[in-house]
Amino acid sequence: MSPTPSPQEKFLVCSDRSDSWTDPHRKRDKPSLRGKPVIVGGIAGRGVVATASYEARRFGARSAMPTSEARRRCPPGTAFLTPRFAAYRKTSEVVMALLHELSPLVEQVSIDEAYIDLAAGDHDLSPASVTVLAEQIRASIAAATGGVTASVGVGTSKLVAKIGSDLHKPNGLTIAAAGGEQALLHPLPVTRLPGVGPATTERLRRAGIHTIGALAQTPLPQLLDWFGQAHGGGLYRLARADDDRPVISEREAKSVSAEETFDVDLTDRARLGTEIDLLATKVGGRLRDGGLSARTVTIKVRHHDFTTITRSTTRPQPTDQPKLIAQLARRLLSEVDTSAGIRLLGVGVTALADFVQDDLFGAIEPDRPSGPVAPDPGLSTPDQHTVSRRTTPSVWRAGQDILHSLHGPGWVWGAGRGLVTVRFEGPTTGPGPIRTFAAEDPNLLAADPPNWA
């Protein structure tokens, strides 16, 4: 039996590309936006901010804020762009590949964040050597992604590594050597701990507890009385940096879903059917991308008054076919009263399997006319700046990658009233010229993200 490793031999790194959504827009692919406030998310009336650049955060913009509020807070000239999932996924794949070179134990927890168990990677784990290694990680990420920054935290647990990675964004580095965990955590506000939301914060405030250090001095019976066994005990352990969660290299997917919030409540059944088709195409594509299939199809419907319902159906064999998923989702929607208006519609699948066993005959009914079905742009494999599987879209979205047959690659600067304005620039250029075209110009094509090398 091998000896129990000392705490120093359990160093973990949490790599968090601090500006992950806005960096590909602003610092790399869109030179004209460097140093300017950028908002990424839903940019229409009911849109929500997915993320904001640090320049935009100085004006109070933040994730989960209604886009309309962000527009009121940010100055003229702020860029409001739709997400580019293909670009984020491409960047994420490059980063995760670099992290896997460091250790066989890498736990990816989101598109822009992962934990690394360095003890499994045969590294010198002294604080000085780990500091050098963390600097190398950040430099490698920047070089391989065209300048995307990384914030890294190093510690003896996931908790310390995660909090450390958040302390000095953007492009920061925090090292907490074994024995120094409490010195790092105790001065910080209690809101830095996971699970400490507004209600917990308010209860602690009434007791005069504002910092993690003050929380660590609170007797366990008191916390159990205030918050119960599970939450109170968890706070007691976290305040003392007691976190023994291991790095799990693979996570089993339990569900795949896609949803859309509409600018105007929808009542038209034909339009809702088209939205079902679009969502099912995304879900089916993601299943195939992950080598998965599913037996249970679920729809999520949010009415105009925010009442939310779900409906599910399960078939005998798993499938990854978008048409079949859409067919089942349409049937479920037909049982829902949509006359008062639908605010949000979602399609999801569960009961996942790693094989497909569709019926040999009659698995899919003949297609119903429902308009074009656009593929999920996040599923392309853009090894070079190529034209996407679509041609000229019916709707252009701000920030979208395009390719003009005469002027070359660029991105949508703005669109409306039958026109689309394009800025022709990219990772290897300076700020480029702006030109306006008819929205249906056949020379304009939707494109995959540009190369940054």
Mean per-residue pLDDT over the chain, rounded: 81
- At 311, the pLDDT band (50, 70, 90 cuts) reads very high
Q: What would the mean pLDDT of 401-420 be, rounded to a whole number?
A: 90
Architecture of domain 7-19+87-183: 2-Layer Sandwich (3.30)
- pLDDT tens for 315-334 read 877 888 899 999 999 999 99
Residue 382, pLDDT above cutoff 60 = no
- pLDDT tens for 142-158 read 888 888 888 899 998 99
Per the annotation, the verdict on 113 as an active-site residue is yes
Q: Right CATH number for 186-239 from 2.60.120.10, 2.60.120.260, 1.10.150.20, 3.40.640.10?
A: 1.10.150.20
Structure tokens at 144: 């391989």
% of the chain with per-residue pLDDT over 70: 83
What is the value of pTM for the model shown?
A: 0.66
Residue 280, pLDDT above cutoff 80 = yes
Give the 3-state secondary structure of the chain.
CCCCCCHHHHCEEEEECCCCCCHHHHHHCCHHHCCCCEEEECCCCCCEEEEECHHHHCCCCCCCCEHHHHHHHCCCCCEEECCCHHHHHHHHHHHHHHHHCCCCCEEEEECCEEEEEHHHHCCCCCHHHHHHHHHHHHHHHHHHHCCCCCEEEEECCHHHHHHHHHHCCCCCEEECCCCCHHHHHCCCEHHHCCCCCHHHHHHHHHCCCCEHHHHHCCCHHHHHHHHHHHHHHHHHHHHCCCCCCCCCCCCCCCCEEEEEEEEEEECCHHHHHHHHHHHHHHHHHHHHHCCCEEEEEEEEEEECCCCEEEEEEEEEEEECCHHHHHHHHHHHHHCCCCCCCEEEEEEEEEEEECCCCCCCCCCCCCCCCCCCCCCCHHHCCCCCCCECCCCCCCCCCCCCEEEECCCEEEEEEEEECCEEEEECCCCCCCCCCEEEEECCCCCEEEECCCCCC
Q: What would the mean pLDDT of 276-301 be, rounded to a whole number?
A: 88
- pLDDT tens for 157-215 read 999 999 998 888 878 899 888 888 999 999 999 999 988 888 899 999 999 999 999 99
Task: Give the bridge partners for 419, in sequence order.
Answer: 416, 438
107, 113, 181, 275: which one is catalytic? Answer: 113
Q: What is the CATH number of domain 256-376?
A: 3.30.1490.100
- pLDDT of 347: 95
How far is the C-alpha of 236 from the C-alpha of 247, rounded, in Å? 22
- pLDDT of 385: 39
Residue 340, pLDDT above cutoff 70 = yes
Residue 119, pLDDT above cutoff 70 = yes
- At 369, the pLDDT band (50, 70, 90 cuts) reads very low
Residue closest to 40 by CA, chosen among 68, 60, 63, 17: 63
Residue closest to 247 by CA, chosen among 183, 151, 162, 134: 162
Higher-confidence residue of 291 and 29: namely: 29
Is CATH 3.40.1170.60 the classification given to domain 23-82? yes
- pLDDT of 239: 94
